[in-house]
């Protein structure tokens, strides 16, 4: 257990989102005395509206460049932070921990790393807008308000979902969805989301939501089980009644508090982190 109650927290957003999606968590954690960083993907240092107007920035993204970009931010810190990621940010959190970064990690409604072969019907339906046309592989692909309501905010009213879509949603790189979505496990060789599931690393908590359509609980449970040969702590926790928009939907405070309490309790000390890496 790490007794430092003012640790730095790094929040990593997912696809179709920007650092703006963490705005409630930033103030919530800062009020508890934490330094909070919300690094965006390369080129995401502009507002949502500007990214919508210039989707080429999104379409050209690569996962290795994004991981390197986030890692550089973390490596510049004086001590290993708590790393939390939502959706594909959960995948990136796993990749960052695999590099020996962070003192604890939390993957919320995480997209899977390589080798997780669970593909529920609701996930396929959620990703279909990007996968229905092979040409989308080379584009930035967004959700319509109706598609967003099914994939992200299915426990909200249509009106509240549209408000979330208006404020937060941007297109996602189609190549990521094609390369690391439903077809990732059918390609030869290791992909950019491969991790060594048997390696040591900082403790990692998976959080799932029972009503999540795009990254259902079965995906997160399977991802967590892949780490069974690792000496590092891996746990799974499920919130009933919560969808993929769990970090901003009403009641998000319970998710934020559980994530931070777990991370504080299990965070490695400086010497433990050095030994694990």
Extents of the domains making up the chain: 9-276
What pLDDT does 190 receive? 76
What pLDDT does 56 receive? 92
What pLDDT does 179 receive? 78
pTM: 0.94
What pLDDT does 128 receive? 92
- Separation of alpha carbons 120 and 101, rounded Å: 31
Q: Three-state DSSP class for 29?
A: helix
What pLDDT does 188 receive? 59
- Separation of alpha carbons 136 and 128, rounded Å: 11
CATH code reported for the domain at 9-276? 3.40.50.1820
Under a CB-based contact definition with an 8 Å cutoff, are residues 255 and 247 in contact? yes
What 180-184 contacts at long range (C-beta under 8 Å, 24+ apart), as own/partner pairs, is 180/63, 180/91, 180/111, 180/114, 181/127, 181/130, 181/131, 182/119, 182/123, 182/124, 182/127, 182/131, 184/114
What pLDDT does 119 receive? 87
Under a CB-based contact definition with an 8 Å cutoff, are residues 246 and 274 in contact? no
- Separation of alpha carbons 266 and 2, rounded Å: 7
What pLDDT does 1 receive? 45
Residues in the chain, pLDDT under 50: 1-3, 271, 274-277
Label residue 221 exposed, middle or buried (CB < 10 Å: 0-12, 13-18, 19+). middle
| Helix intervals (H) in the chain | 23-30, 48-53, 56-59, 63-75, 88-98, 121-131, 145-151, 158-168, 174-180, 217-225, 252-266, 270-276
Tell how strand 172-173 and strand 140-141 pair up. Answer: antiparallel
């Amino acid at each position: 257990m790490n007794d430092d109650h003012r640790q730095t927290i790094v929040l990593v957003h997912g696809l179709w989102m920007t650092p703006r999606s963490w705005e409630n968590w930033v103030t919530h954690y800062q009020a508890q005395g934490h330094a909070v960083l919300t690094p965006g993907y390369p080129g995401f240092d502009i507002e949502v509206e500007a990214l919508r107007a210039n989707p080429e920035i999104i379409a050209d993204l690569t996962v290795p460049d994004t991981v390197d970009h986030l890692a550089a931010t973390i490596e510049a810190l004086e001590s290993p932070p708590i790393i939390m990621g939502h959706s594909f940010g959960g995948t990136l959190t796993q990749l960052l921990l695999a590099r020996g970064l962070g003192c604890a990690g939390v993957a919320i409604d995480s997209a899977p790393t390589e080798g997780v072969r669970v593909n529920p019907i609701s996930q396929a339906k959620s990703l279909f807008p990007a996968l229905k046309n092979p040409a989308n592989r080379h584009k930035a692909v967004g959700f319509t308000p109706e598609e967003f309501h099914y994939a992200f905010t299915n426990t909200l009213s249509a009106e509240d979902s549209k408000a979330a879509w208006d404020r937060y949603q941007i297109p996602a790189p189609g190549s990521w969805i094609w390369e690391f979505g439903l077809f990732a496990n059918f390609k030869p060789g290791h992909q950019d989301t491969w991790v060594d599931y048997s390696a040591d690393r900082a403790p990692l908590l998976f959080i799932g939501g029972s009503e999540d359509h795009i990254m259902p609980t079965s995906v997160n449970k399977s991802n967590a089980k892949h780490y069974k040969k690792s000496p590092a702590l891996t746990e799974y926790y499920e919130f009933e009644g919560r969808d993929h928009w769990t970090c901003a939907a009403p009641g998000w405070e319970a998710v934020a508090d559980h994530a931070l309490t777990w991370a504080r309790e299990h965070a490695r000390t400086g010497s433990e982190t050095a030994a694990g890496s």
